[in-house]
Amino acid sequence: MDETSITLRVELRADTLLGPGQAALLQGIRETGSIAAAGRRMGMSYKRAWYLIDTLNGSFGEPVVTAAKGGRAGGGAQLTACGEAVLDGYRRMEAAAAAAIEGEVAALRALLKPDDA
Amino acid sequence: MDETSITLRVELRADTLLGPGQAALLQGIRETGSIAAAGRRMGMSYKRAWYLIDTLNGSFGEPVVTAAKGGRAGGGAQLTACGEAVLDGYRRMEAAAAAAIEGEVAALRALLKPDDA
């Protein structure tokens, strides 16, 4: 394993956490155009996915996702400019954090028991 | 809130995660000299604390904690040099990751709804 695999959760404010779950959901909505489909591919109920998006929508000055009501096409959801900025910002934070700890991770990995021990 | 508050979990190997729980437990052992006391102040059962330490001890080439059997003094536990290196390395990773994302965090915080809105 060469890449540095991390989980990063950031407290933007006391009531506003941004972590891998929210990021994966936003990315799923970007890719599927649907809150339900984005949740489903994470094994998340529609209710839970909707709750996470509703919470984010209430935390930022602009909504992060806009959803159209159902109908023949089954509604649809998409990231707003704010949602794109949040998702892109999170991905940049993940990459920056992983890069910043590379040296420490290598040093700690050198202390691990050999895999075949 | 000015400081960047993050939760960082690092996958050192597929079977070896290092995160805030392990770090707090190691720090508690450093400060209390006891696995039980370290777990207790985190609201963690002795069984769970011991399991986490046993897992870490098995992951690294050297144990991270050595524990003496009970007796009048109630046993006692202390970090080894390896345990100190793991804890110190984790704290440095936390600080480096937080510093690396400061700019992105500020940009995302600027998108939040004002606190008094």
In the structure, what pLDDT confidence band is assigned to residue A29 with cuts at 50, 70 and 90?
very high
- Whether residue A117 is contained in a domain is answered as no
- Whether residue B91 is contained in a domain is answered as yes
In chain B, the percentage of residues whose pLDDT exceeds 90 is: 83
**Cβ atoms within 10 Å of B65's Cβ, excluding its own:** 23
Domain that holds residue A88: 13-109
CB A42, CB A48: distance < 8 Å: no
CA distance A51 to A21: 12
B100/A104 touch (CB, cutoff 8 Å), yes or no: no
pTM given for the model: 0.90
Which of A40-54, B3-17, B62-76, B103-117 has the weakest average pLDDT? B62-76
The number of distinct structural domains making up chain B is 1
B89/A100 touch (CB, cutoff 8 Å), yes or no: no
Which of A40-49, A67-76, B82-91 has the weakest average pLDDT? A67-76
Which of B38, B42, B25 has the alpha carbon at shortest distance from B90?
B25
Return the pLDDT at A45.
Answer: 93
Buried b (16+ CB within 10 A) or exposed e, B18-45: beebbbbbbbbbbebbbbbbbbeeeebe
CA distance B35 to B48: 10
**SS3 state of residue A60:** strand
Q: Which of B26, B54, B92, B104 has the highest number of chain A CBs within 10 A, making it the mutation to test binding with A?
A: B104
- Whether residue B77 is contained in a domain is answered as yes
Q: Is B95 on the interface with A (CB under 8 A)?
A: no
Return the pLDDT at B4.
Answer: 81
Return the pLDDT at A115.
Answer: 77
pLDDT above 90: residue A111: yes
In the structure, what pLDDT confidence band is assigned to residue B68 with cuts at 50, 70 and 90?
confident
- Whether residue B115 is contained in a domain is answered as no
- Residues A55-69 have pLDDT tens digits of 999 999 999 999 876
- Whether residue B2 is contained in a domain is answered as no
**Domain containing A59 — which CATH number?**
1.10.10.10
Chain A residues inside the 8 Å CB shell of B60: 111-113
In the structure, what pLDDT confidence band is assigned to residue A70 with cuts at 50, 70 and 90?
low
Query: H or E stretch including B27?
Result: helix B20-32
- Rounded mean pLDDT, B79-83: 98
Across the interface, which of A86, A89, A97 has its CB nearest the CB of B97? A97
Return the pLDDT at B115.
Answer: 77
Return the pLDDT at B70.
Answer: 60
Across the interface, which of A9, A19, A108 has its CB nearest the CB of B12? A108
Give me the interface pTM, i.e. the ipTM: 0.90
- Residues A3-18 have pLDDT tens digits of 789 999 999 998 899 9
- Whether residue B29 is contained in a domain is answered as yes
- Rounded mean pLDDT, A89-103: 98
- Rounded mean pLDDT, B78-103: 98
In chain A, the percentage of residues whose pLDDT exceeds 70 is: 91
Q: Is B116 on the interface with A (CB under 8 A)?
A: no
- Whether residue B68 is contained in a domain is answered as yes
- Whether residue B40 is contained in a domain is answered as yes
- Rounded mean pLDDT, B12-33: 95
Kindly report the average pLDDT of chain A as a whole number: 92
